[in-house]
Amino acid sequence: MISFQLLLQSSISGLLIGGIYALVAVGLSLIFGLMNIVNFAHGDYLMLAMYATFWANYLLGWDPLVTLPFVLFIWFFAGAVTYKVVIRRILDAPMVAQMFSTFGLGLFLRYGAYFFWSADVRKVNDNLLSGILDIGNIYITKAELVAFFGSFAATALLFLFIKRTKLGKAIQATSQNKEAAMEMGIYTDKVNAIGWGIGIMCVGLGGVLLATYYPVHIYSGWMFTLISYISVALGGFGSFWGVYLGGMMIGVIENVFGTVFVPTFKMVFVYATFIFILIYRPKGLFGKF
Amino acid sequence: MERVIEKIRGYKIWGIILLLGFLVSYPWIFTDPHPRHVMIILLMYVVLGQAWNILGGYSGQISLGNHIFFALGAYTSTMLLLKVGLPPWIGVVPGAILASIAAIFIGQICFDLRGHYFAIGTLGLAEITYIIFLNWNFVNRAFGFQIPILKNSTYYVQWANKEPYFYIILTMAVLVVAFVWKMDKSTLGVYLKAIKEDEERAKSLGIDSRRYKLLAFVISAVITSFTGTFYAQYILYIDPDSLLNLEFALLIIIIPMVGGMGTVLGPILGATLLIPLAEYARTAFGGGGRGVHILIYGLVIVLLALYEPRGLIGIVKRRFGKTFMLYGDDSAPLFGEGDKS
Amino acid sequence: MSVLNIHGLTKSFGGLIAIDEVDITVKQGEIVGLIGPNGSGKTTLFNCVTGLYQTDKGKIMFKNEDIIGFSPYKIAQKGIARTFQLARVFHDLTLFQNMVLARNHLGENFLRTPTKSFDQLLCDLVDYWLEFVGLTRLRNELAGEVSYGQQKLLEFAMILIPDPELILLDEPTSGVNPVMINKIMSLIRKLHDQGKTMFIIEHNMKVVMNLCERVYVLDHGKKICEGTSAEVQCDGKVIEAYFGY
């Protein structure tokens, strides 16, 4: 039997990484909410952010927290540029074309990374956040903790931004009804671009935070795309904190089952959860559509 | 104008004869193993792409899990061969049956989902299958199976040189293409296209869309499982990593996607462009080139999505217009009044 | 003999009640109209009858069989045909192929379908109904490339192929020019002469007056009036529903 201790430990680790899943998922649902497009390249932007963190650390000796603002800045623009160059053209295209475009983009990014950096797994060493905390026999690395709070803070900020600022409200309006928003004078094109920018920026942030303790490698991108997609499905499209909760839950499910069963089996439960939701509760737990 | 069209149609039949002639004599023209191998792989992807096309291209359900059937076919025939001595000629049948059951199972679970939901749903199931195979002793976990080399045993479907393999896969490719061509013009083809365009409307007209989608899926699965058995006998080694990996799933769908979904020629064009491209990329970039072909594929897909979502077929259509209908498009019937086939 | 008998039908979306305890009868050979202001639940009612929506309460009897709970394709196979407010035809298929799709699917053996060709009987039927609506010359054109009026005619012809017992028409004359309206009206009259049973949603009062023997009026999901078209026109509640006073 599994000790309660072990269960608790894995749950907490799961919650902590779940915070990052949640942040990334929120980014995905922002994009989806705005223009009904699933970004199949979402996780690959995260993977690139992780690599950026690694190389900055390896080649320049930068601590991830130093790399962070740069990544935020660049990733925001990467998102907006992706929108302007690729996404904008397929907004009204058939769903198949939309799937292809982000899908192909993901392939391009992933195998571009593979080409340059090969499939070796990298790790970021010597960072400010090394060290483990011992809280009542539960072991948490500093990095995990900081990453969690960082992503939570970011999500909260994002939430406030969406709800309180004028730009945020424009985003809400466009998500609900594009035509009505346009009639109200909102430049939906700009809003879309900013939405992408923010979405990818979240991903970038998640990537940097994750790189402080998680191994860096090519295929992690696709895995995170799936995880964020599943989180959104679990939480429900249209619910901000629902998606966040979804991400946390996926983190817990993955970790707990990975500890209780063979670690290689853990994704089975994540996928099984996903398929279960798709069939029995397609709206997700808190979703609006 | 009519005479010109007649002329082109006439050429079209000669075109097919020439192409078939070329393919049949290919092993005599190219006697080195490498070009033969490339062609075999190309033809294999034509078959896989067409099989996927039947469900994905025609009825609109984008499956990212077809490689499950490939693995089922390969593992079933191989395990029966190794444990019971059953020749793969017969071993394909249990594989196909297993694949059909799997298809019905997956279809029943996932068919209510459309578009990207279905795709990711099937992917989830595929990943689950991969993980299970990786950990299951019965299928030898990550080690897979190695088929002992017998050097020329037709009974056990193994030959020292590539020619027999070539002709088998060529026959399969021709049969599958012919089947899809016939299906495209038949009742089933019309039903599937309708289901793809507006499933609710098709149901309102009395069509049991679920049944027809399942049928398409099962046909797709059976063809794919046959190919799996072929592959096992060709490469003589199977394991979860080579059969159930994500790249393979992607490749199966990229080929008909790039060529043109829902058309007869699409997968052929797609394979003809992409497989040699991969080979060229591999040799040109040497060691680091293993992923380059997919990098290029990604770029190709994005460009197509932006400029011609119908795929290469769309480009051909645009260039040559209605007079050059190479496939059963009824807007300009090719062989007489195309409707009463 | 009543073909359609709706009894106490209720349908809500979340908290919003779209159809509220509605009773409707359509007898064989009748042309019955269904009118009401926008949003009164007319199309929703049709969707409930054809199985596209699940219902909360009530019974829908088609020829003495309760069809609630059946899948849309089963209901269609039982003999209920339906057009949509915005003509729904298959743009990527030819008119001929569209018509073939609409054939009677009852008892279809799908195992034979892959190689089944279109038999002579079906082709004759297709040609007959294309002729009826006057679209014969467009037989091999893609449905997406003909005009909207022609698409509406196509949809009309499609639903007649399986010889349905009940025809539901959702705003058959909306979105087309007056000449087409008259044409469609004459087609409906011809079908009536052939003894077909029709239940029609309409906004165009002239059409309702001319064609419908009886009319039901819905407002906010409730049936507020029923009678002949003349009776209904003068009813105070109906006037209030449409014009607000």
Instruction: State the SS3 of chain A.
Output: CCCHHHHHHHHHHHHHHHHHHHHHHHHHHHHHHHHCCCCCCHHHHHHHHHHHHHHHHHHHCCCHHHHHHHHHHHHHHHHHHHHHHCHHHHCCCCHHHHHHHHHHHHHHHHHHHHHHHCCCCECCCCCCCCCEEEECCEEEEHHHHHHHHHHHHHHHHHHHHHHHCHHHHHHHHHHHCHHHHHHCCCCHHHHHHHHHHHHHHHHHHHHHHHHCCCCECCCHHHHHHHHHHHHHHHHCCCCHHHHHHHHHHHHHHHHHHHHHCCHHHHHHHHHHHHHHHHHHCCCCCCCCC
- Residue that is written with structure tokens 């980014």 in the block: A27
Q: How many Cβ atoms sit within 10 Å of the Cβ of residue A105?
A: 25
DSSP, collapsed to helix, strand or coil, labels residue C71 as: coil
**Which residues from C are below 8 Å from B187, CB to CB?**
100, 113-114, 116-118
Kindly state whether B142 is in contact with chain A, defined as any CB-CB distance less than 8 angstroms: no
Contacts of B278 in chain A (CB under 8 A): none
Range with the poorest average pLDDT among A189-198, B67-76, B144-153, B165-174? B144-153
Q: What is the pLDDT of residue A80?
A: 93
Residue of A nearest to B262 (CA): A96
Given an 8 Å threshold on Cβ–Cβ distance, is C123 in contact with B212?
A: no
What is the tens place of the pLDDT at every residue in B249-270?
Answer: 888 988 998 888 888 889 999 9
Is A261 in CB contact (< 8 Å) with chain B?
no
Confidence of residue B4 (pLDDT cuts 50, 70, 90): low
User: How far does B231 lie from chain A, in Å, by closest CA?
Assistant: 25
User: pTM, whole model, 2 decimals?
Assistant: 0.87
Residues in B closer than 8 angstroms to A274, CB to CB, are: 120-121, 124
| Between C121 and B288, the higher pLDDT residue | C121
Residue B117 banded pLDDT, cuts 50, 70, 90 = confident
Is residue C81 classed as helix, strand or coil in its secondary structure?
Answer: strand
User: pLDDT digit string (tens) for B314-335?
Assistant: 888 777 765 444 443 433 332 2
Which residues of chain B neighbour A93 with C-beta distances below 8 Å? Answer: 305, 309
Q: Which of A48, A83, A108, A220 to probe by mutation at the B interface, max B CB count within 10 Å?
A: A108
The pair of structure tokens assigned to C23 is 């009773």
CB contact under 8 A, B309 and A95: no
Tell how strand C80-82 and strand C2-13 pair up.
unpaired
Let me know: does A229 contact A51? Beta carbons within 8 Å: no
pLDDT at B333: 30
In angstroms, what separates the C-alpha of B44 from chain A's closest C-alpha?
22
User: Scanning every residue of chain B, which has its alpha carbon at the shortest distance from the alpha carbon of C78?
Assistant: B206
Residue bearing tokens 């993980």: B131
Of all residues in chain C, the one with the smallest CA distance to B218 is C111
Residue of B nearest to A107 (CA): B298
* Confidence (pLDDT) at B142: 87
Name the closest residue on chain C to residue B54, using Cα atoms: C114
Interface contact B182-C115, CB threshold 8 A: yes
Question: Smallest Cα–Cα separation from C36: which of C198, C235, C178?
Answer: C235
State residue B341's pLDDT score: 28
Rounded average pLDDT per 10-residue block, chain C, 245 residues = 90 87 93 89 93 91 91 93 93 91 79 63 89 91 92 93 93 91 93 93 89 91 87 79 70
